[in-house]
Amino acid sequence: MVILWGSCSSKQEDVQTSVLKIEHGNLLYEVNDQLQTSFSVSLPDTKPVMSGFQASEKIEINHKIIEVFNFKGVEEESLTGVLSGKKWSIKGSYTDNDISIDKELILIAYDAYPDLITTKVIYTNAKEDEVYVEKWINNEYNIHSQGDTPLFWAFQGSSTQKRSDWIKPLEPGFYQKNFMGMNDTDYGGGIPVTSVWRTDINVAVGHLALVPKIVSLPTEILSKGTDVKVAVAKDFKERTVFKGRENIETLETFLSVTKGDYFANLERYSNLMQAKGIKMVPPEDAAFESIWCAWGYERKFTLDEIIKTLPKVKDLGIKWAVLDDGFQIAEGDWDAHPEKFPKGNIEIKNLVDKIHDQGLKAKIWWTPLAADPHSDALQKNPEMRIRQRDDAPQFITWWDAYYLSPSNPKTIEHTKEIIELFMGEWGFDGLKMDGQHMNAVGADYGLEDPDKAPEAVPAFFDMIYEEARKIKPHAVVEHCPCGACMSYFNMASTNQVVSSDPLSSWQIRHKGKTYKALIPKTAYYGDHVELSDNKSDFASSFGVGAVLGTKFTWPKDNQYASESFLLTPEKEKIWKKWFSLYDDKMLSKEPYLGSLYDIGYDKPETHVIKKEDVLYFSFYAKKWNNSIELRGLDANTEYIVKDYFNEIDLGKVTSKDTTATINAVFEDFLLLEVTPVKK
> Does one domain contain both 82 and 231?
yes
User: Is residue 243 a part of any domain in this protein?
Assistant: yes
Give the angle 146-31-248 at the CA atoms, nearest 5°. Answer: 110
Is residue 604 reached through a cis peptide bond, with omega within 30 degrees of 0 on the bond before it? yes
pTM: 0.96
> Does one domain contain both 573 and 613?
no
pLDDT at 3: 54
User: Is residue 335 a part of any domain in this protein?
Assistant: yes
Please give the distance of CA 497 from its chain centroid, rounded to a whole number.
10
Amino acid symbol at 472: K
The residues facing 664 across adjacent strands are 626
Tally of structural domains, the chain:
3
pLDDT at 71: 97
> Does one domain contain both 247 and 354?
no
Which of the listed residues 210, 244, 276 is the one where a domain comes to its end? Answer: 276
> Does one domain contain both 550 and 575?
yes
User: Is residue 393 a part of any domain in this protein?
Assistant: no
User: Is residue 142 a part of any domain in this protein?
Assistant: yes
260 backbone dihedrals φ, ψ, rounded to 5°? 80, -165
Predicted confidence band at 493 (pLDDT cuts at 50, 70, 90)? very high
CATH of the domain at 616: 2.60.40.1180
Predicted confidence band at 86 (pLDDT cuts at 50, 70, 90)? very high
> Does one domain contain both 346 and 210?
no
User: Is residue 397 a part of any domain in this protein?
Assistant: no
> Does one domain contain both 460 and 569?
yes
d(CA 290, CA 306): 17
> Does one domain contain both 113 and 177?
yes
Per DSSP, helices labelled H in 440-537 are 452-471, 505-518
d(CA 18, CA 661): 47
Q: Which of 296, 285, 295, 292 is nearest to 314 (CA)?
A: 292
Give the DSSP letter string of 499-516.
--S-SSHHHHHHHHHHHH
Full domain range(s) for residue 37: 2-276
Predicted confidence band at 535 (pLDDT cuts at 50, 70, 90)? very high
CB 39 within 8 A of CB 20: no
Neighbours of 118 (CB within 10 A): 24
pLDDT in tens, 148-185: 999 999 999 999 999 999 999 999 999 999 999 999 99
CB 379 within 8 A of CB 406: no
d(CA 579, CA 567): 14
CB 252 within 8 A of CB 118: yes
Q: How many residues comprise the chain?
A: 679
% of the chain surpassing 70 pLDDT: 98
Residue 679: is its pLDDT beyond 80? no
Predicted confidence band at 223 (pLDDT cuts at 50, 70, 90)? confident
> Does one domain contain both 418 and 519?
yes
Across 1-5, 275-279, 416-420, 457-461, least confident range = 1-5
Q: What's 310's DSSP letter?
A: H
CATH of the domain at 340: 3.20.20.70
How high does pLDDT run on average in the chain?
Answer: 96
pLDDT in tens, 467-485: 999 999 999 999 999 999 9
> Does one domain contain both 318 and 454?
yes
**At a CB cut-off of 8 Å and minimum separation 6, what does 238 contact?**
none
**At a CB cut-off of 8 Å and minimum separation 6, what does 151 contact?**
145, 169, 170, 171, 172, 198, 221, 226, 228
Residue 16: is its pLDDT beyond 70? no
**At a CB cut-off of 8 Å and minimum separation 6, what does 425 contact?**
345, 349
Which of the listed residues 589, 615, 636 is the one where a domain comes to its end? Answer: 589
Which of the listed residues 525, 559, 589 is the one where a domain comes to its end? Answer: 589
User: Is residue 384 a part of any domain in this protein?
Assistant: no
CATH of the domain at 150: 2.70.98.60
Neighbours of 199 (CB within 10 A): 18
The pLDDT of 451-477, averaged and rounded, is: 97
pLDDT at 97: 85
Exposure string over 453-491, b if 16+ CB within 10 A, otherwise e: bbbbbbebbbbbbebbbeebeebbbbbbbbbbbbbbbbb
Residue 217: is its pLDDT beyond 50? yes
Residue 469 three-state SS: helix
Across 2-6, 323-327, 389-393, 604-608, least confident range = 2-6
> Does one domain contain both 556 and 419?
yes
> Does one domain contain both 69 and 129?
yes
User: Is residue 95 a part of any domain in this protein?
Assistant: yes
Predicted confidence band at 25 (pLDDT cuts at 50, 70, 90)? very high
> Does one domain contain both 184 and 240?
yes
User: Is residue 27 a part of any domain in this protein?
Assistant: yes
In 243-300, beta strands by DSSP E: 247-249, 253-258, 291-293
pLDDT at 7: 39
Q: Which of 13, 39, 1, 12 is nearest to 141 (CA)?
A: 39
